[in-house]
Chain A
């Protein structure tokens, strides 16, 4: 078996050497094949393939552009929503008060100052200011104190150019505590004015 296989290998090697030699000698006599368009069924199919490729590329590009622009739009919408949410957060940020006081503290005036341009840029927005107290005063008298706190907030916004008719004031007194508990940190959280947007567009315009 080994002798037979060895012979076959040798034959194949000789044969292939002969064939290579033959090709080499033949090549210079033959003209180079033309790249130019040629008539016939083979040429047509090549052109169609090229056109298909071009079209596919164009379509891909369009798809990519569309995707890009959708992503950009989504991002923009996200940004806008985030911006609107931020505006809404600013507009509804609470202010707080000292014990038994309705005067606005400097840090709370700053919170109200941030609301003014938003209210100015969104003239149809209506807000409601609810005054709250901690539980230490009289239950009933605290309804008056809560009203006074809401009024104090409203007066500040009106002084800064917001129309009186756009701001409603109410009081909950001590009836709706934000924090339960009987320590100063709970009391501080509860002595507050809350803001609700009661009218105007869903999305707030940026100042």
Chain B
């Protein structure tokens, strides 16, 4: 019952063109993208391309294959076909120049076959189009010699992401990391894990560090500190492991919720003090005085999150009573309420995150007794509720503007989960209780 077996033959490009979007148009112009021939009315957001990944010989071959299969699976754009030893052996015989027996894969309803071969410097990848019966893309990828190392795994994730781009025109999100907080009280610390949950490290931070945020380059984190020593915004360089204080809050004030502007040269944050909380911007050089963007007049404005073009900022404010989402221009003018508000509506809305494609804002809203994740178009309108089981909060978008990492109690305790907003598939990312405040990085190039 393969969804692709229908009457019409449709090149994937045609389907891609139907899903308008600036970033996708740009990718469609990329000449290295060939795509995979699909049969049937393919919906690129809901349907999955059936892919077979052949066994890989050589040291780490099994791990390489397992990671690529999982990366493609976690992208929620591919259905991974299990290829048993017999099929794999049969597939290699009786084929054409490529050495693949395409009839076997046609029988398995595979649209694409990924063939990986270990090389002295890494891995050679060939992408087979089963309908065309030919190789449609090849590439060589360098892998660090230390198999299973954090760097090796990230290089494999980058390979997976490029293979995904060969098939769909859009790079995968496996080569990303997620920063978050785990632990309570003084044991709380900032951790970083790969998008598949592996390779955790603990960032050497102040014991009261909170609210990690990624620099757009993926090479730096910002976080704020709280407690009985002066609150600070701290920058942590992931390349050198050096920390530096960007700015220290004056007495009786607290810096919270830092976020980088998309150009990576400045940080937005909230300063909370005796006259409420206001949003400020400060350059990373530390030489310029912070600029105040909101005039809260006693209200609490916090959690500033810029639009991907850096022209607007969504934030939380409670000028009307309970916390609501507002959007203002990046210079602090023209602030407007984003979330619908009326006097009978006592819903608490907070923790906004602007999708990388600029279309949607994910946030948490109190529905009944518990927070749930919702999205709303950046232009306003009717929100869409994405969760309902347990308490779900603190959403952060993946670079594909499709997946969201968030905090959920659905398993009994707070853990990080990943939701595909197109298929609503969920997967649990962390297995240590008390995980929260996740921030998803951009695609990492190192």
Contact = CB atoms under 8 A, between A and B. Distances in A.
Interface residues of B, number: 37
Given A137-B350, A141-B302, A154-B274, 5 more contacts: A138-B323, A139-B436, A147-B253, A147-B273, A147-B277
24 contacts: A100-B348, A138-B316, A138-B350, A138-B351, A138-B371, A138-B393, A138-B394, A139-B437, A143-B254, A144-B300, A144-B302, A147-B253, A148-B276, A148-B277, A151-B252, A155-B274, A168-B251, A169-B274, A170-B227, A170-B254, A175-B185, A175-B210, A176-B185, A196-B228
Nearest to A140: B257
B438 to A, nearest CB: 11
A3 B62 CA distance: 131
Contacts, number: 89
Given A141-B316, A176-B185, A147 B302 contact: no
Contacts of A156: none
- Lowest 10 CB-CB distances: which A-B pairs, in order? A138-B350, A147-B272, A144-B300, A144-B272, A151-B274, A144-B277, A169-B252, A143-B256, A147-B254, A141-B350
Nearest to B350: A138
Interface in B335-384: 348, 350-351, 364, 371
A171 interface: yes
Interface of B: 184-185, 188, 208, 210-211, 226-228, 231, 251-254, 256-257, 270, 272-274, 276-277, 300, 302-303, 316, 322-323, 348, 350-351, 364, 371, 393-394, 436-437
Contacts of B272: 143-144, 147-148, 171
Contacts of A145: 300
Contacts of A171: 226, 254, 272
Contacts of A143: 210, 226, 254, 256, 272
Contact of A139 (B251, B300, B394): B394
A165 to B, nearest CB: 9
Interface size class for chain A?
20 to 34
A192 interface: no
Given A130-B228, A170-B226, A173-B226, A138 B274 contact: no
A155 B275 CA distance: 11
A168 B227 CA distance: 12
B302 A175 contact: no
A128 interface: yes
Contacts of A196: 228
Contacts of B184: 175
B196 to A, nearest CB: 25
Contacts of B251: 168
A103 to B, nearest CB: 12
A130 B256 CA distance: 16
Contacts of B274: 151, 154-155, 169
B254 A151 contact: no
A168 B228 CA distance: 10
Contacts of B228: 128, 130, 170, 196
A144 B252 CA distance: 12
Given A143-B272, A144-B256, A148-B276, A172 B351 contact: no
Nearest to A137: B348
Contacts of A147: 253-254, 272-273, 277
B252 A148 contact: no
Contacts of B322: 100
A173 B316 CA distance: 16
Nearest to A138: B350
B54 to A, nearest CB: 46
Max chain B C-beta neighbours (<10 A), residue from A128, A145, A168 = A145
A39 B305 CA distance: 114
B256 A172 contact: no
Contact of A175 (B188, B323, B351): B188
Nearest to A152: B274
Nearest to B369: A136
Interface in A154-197: 154-155, 168-173, 175-176, 196
